Chains A and B, each alone.
Chain A
Amino acid sequence: MMETHSQPAAVRVRGIVKSFGTGDTQVTVLKGIDLDIYLGEMLLLVGESGGGKTTLLSAIAGILDIDAGDIDVLGVPLSSLPPGKRTAFRGQTMGFVYQQFNLLPALTAAENVAVPLLIQKVGHHDAVRRARIMLDRVGLGDRSDFLPKNLSGGQQQRVAIARALVNEPRLLICDEPTAALDGPNGQKIMELLREVGRSPHRCVVVVTHDSRIFQFGDRMAKLTDGRIVGIEPIMQEDMA
């Protein structure tokens, strides 16, 4: 299943296993996954529901402990980092886009985008200023002071993307970013992720089961029953 690539992998996953439950009710969700993800690429993790996509994503993000195997992110052995250091590492190197946006309803768009910077102890004024610049980049400069409830689903996801990118993460993790959106809005979000999120210094991992957005990825890894059953490059001409 492993592909050859000209540069070292930014994310290196080797033989990871993850089970939930105990005894008779134990379910093994990941059954020895190997995967490399490279800087500059957008990798889609696809597969049927319950196949282990989100579990793999959580493990790569370091927010879920694995039972066996190794995960290296940017040369750091994530699975052996103590929880506190792992949290700090995550805050410094990763950005997240969620299916349900997870914006804080009491904060304005700009304040929501500023949250990762505030967590990194950037001053409030500077954080909000940088957040406004980021909102401009995702086309929501004029909505900076809006509360999430006054934004459409697509706009909320744009805010979430701005939030994920505001601290210039090296790894952008997106969990079903279009699942809560209609077709056209989903397409726009993926265009934005490709345009703003993808960069030579960053890798983007997108979990999705929405075949309409497969065209936006560079490679696609298919998970079935806890195993990667195929990794294929995506022909960009398909995007037309």
Chain B
Amino acid sequence: MNYIALKMLFGDRAKYLMLLCGLTFAVMLIVQQGSIFWGLMMWSQSSISNINAPIWVTDPGIAQVDEVKPITETAVDRVRSVQGVEWAVPLYKGLLRARLANGEYHQITLTGLESSTLIGRPTEVLEGRFEDIVQPDAVVLDQWTVERMGGPSVVTIGTVFELNDKLARVVAIAKTQKSFTNIPVVYTTYERAIRYMPRERRILSYVLAKAKDGVPTDLVTARIREHTGLGAFTAEEFSWKTIRWVLKNTGIGINFGTTILLGFIVGMAIAGQTFYLFTVENLRQFGALKAMGASGFTLARMILLQAFTVGLTGYGVGVGLATAFGVLAAKTGDLPFAETWQLLLLVLVALLTICGASALISIIKLVRLEPAIVFR
């Protein structure tokens, strides 16, 4: 009977394609929008992932990574003194204006890394040597900064520009994840970053730390909080805190949530309606099968097989199209796109719900069907 069910499904090519298109569209919309949404969330915490440190020590009232609340410089030593901490280094992060030789101004995020270890440096360098950052006036840009400042023809290795009337010379270009605000990032040493910035009473933005091998990171963060009175988070906790802040304080969650919900509803409506029509138009055939001895269970199984076959095909095509879009978008990195297995699983569950609900409507119709319909 499975064979008959599938032949019935594929035989009505117009309806099959309509069903397939509806489900493909729904899946593609949900996966594409979901991936862009998650990509944006990844961007929103890129300051954390680009730095790649296991523990972040902050002002206890901090809301998210880009809202820096400076802490006293003694915090570094206080964190180092906490039991289970292997190392702790300062990190500077602040906004500044860069003036290029052509007279253009650009707002930048200045990131100051501890000079002896360069902890927090990007893992990939596209041009030059990151270690040259210790040279006089040296700074490292990321690829987005180069792009924002006018491209390689304007900014390249050896280019000199001003930061707060002080000289800065590009010695390397690193590869990083784009940030949500897309403000150019300029790396330098912590000591030089302080010189570039106007003097403030508190200048230390964060303390980066790591737990000793064998000591759980969350245990160490708890100890840091307890012993220093500062905020301390694992990188993951700080990322989620930032993402939650973005969701709460911007319209992104509602915007994308609405689109994803619409994709689900449209998919449900198209699939449900088309599948129901498909069943209604085949009622005589189903009635004939029932008259010939096919049980209600057999017919329900046929309907479910049809629904899940077209559903899983639509899922495959929809995910394929969304992934192709993502691969093309990710090539340039200009569009946030993070397709995760969790999203794909969630969409699969949503799709199976759509198919199951559509099939259920048809099954109810069939269960109530009087096989005598075939004699009318």
- What is the interface of chain A, defined by CB distance below 8 A to chain B? 54, 57-58, 61, 63-64, 84, 87-88, 90-92, 94, 96, 98-100, 102, 104-107, 111, 115-116, 118-120, 124, 175
Contact = CB atoms under 8 A, between A and B. Distances in A.
Given A58-B372, A118-B3, A102 B284 contact: yes
B294 A91 contact: yes
A106 B293 contact: no
12 contacts: A84-B296, A87-B294, A94-B293, A98-B374, A102-B288, A104-B285, A106-B12, A115-B4, A115-B292, A124-B3, A175-B374, A175-B375
B294 A106 contact: no
**Which of B298, B372, B374, B375 is the most central at the interface, judged by chain A CB atoms within 10 Å of its CB?**
B375
Interface string B42-71: 000000000000000000000000000000
A98 B287 CA distance: 12
B345 interface: no
A58 B291 CA distance: 10
Contacts of B12: 105-106
Contacts of A116: 292-293
Interface of B: 1, 3-4, 7-8, 10-12, 284-285, 287-296, 298, 370-372, 374-376
B375 A98 contact: yes
Residue from A88, A100, A106 with most neighbouring chain B CB atoms (10 Å): A106
A190 B3 CA distance: 32
B1 A106 contact: no
B309 to A, nearest CB: 14
Contact of B370 (A64, A106, A111): A64
A87 B296 CA distance: 9
B293 A90 contact: yes
Contact of A96 (B4, B8, B284, B288): B288
Contacts of B290: 63, 87
Contacts of B370: 63-64
Contact of A119 (B1, B3, B8): B1
A102 B293 contact: no
Q: For chain B, what secondary structure do more than half of its interface residues adopt (helix, strand, loop), or is it mixed? A: helix
A145 B289 CA distance: 21
Contact of B7 (A84, A96, A104): A104
Given A58-B372, A91-B292, A98-B288, 4 more contacts: A54-B375, A63-B374, A87-B295, A106-B12
Contacts of B1: 118-119
Nearest to A116: B292
A63 B372 contact: yes
B73 to A, nearest CB: 78
Contacts of A87: 290, 293-296
B292 A61 contact: no
Given A107-B4, A119-B298, A124-B3, A96 B11 contact: no
A117 to B, nearest CB: 10
Contacts of A64: 370, 372
A104 B283 CA distance: 11
A106 B10 contact: yes
Contacts of A115: 4, 289, 292
Q: Which 10 A-B pairs have the closest CB atoms?
A: A91-B293, A106-B11, A63-B371, A102-B288, A58-B372, A106-B7, A64-B372, A54-B375, A63-B372, A175-B375
B285 A102 contact: yes
Contacts of B292: 90-91, 96, 115-116, 119
A213 to B, nearest CB: 18
A120 B295 CA distance: 10
Contacts of B375: 54, 57-58, 63, 98-99, 175
Contacts of B8: 104, 106
A192 B74 CA distance: 104
A194 to B, nearest CB: 22
Contacts of B295: 84, 87-88
Nearest to B294: A119
A92 B294 CA distance: 11
A98 B284 CA distance: 11
B364 to A, nearest CB: 16
A118 B295 CA distance: 12
Contact of B374 (A94, A102, A104): A102
A119 B372 contact: no
A104 B294 contact: no
B115 to A, nearest CB: 74
Contacts of A124: 3
A102 B375 CA distance: 10
Contacts of B376: 54
A124 B7 CA distance: 13
A88 B297 CA distance: 12
A132 B370 CA distance: 30
B293 A92 contact: yes
A61 B370 CA distance: 12
B293 A120 contact: yes
A161 to B, nearest CB: 14
A88 B293 CA distance: 5
Contacts of B372: 58, 63-64
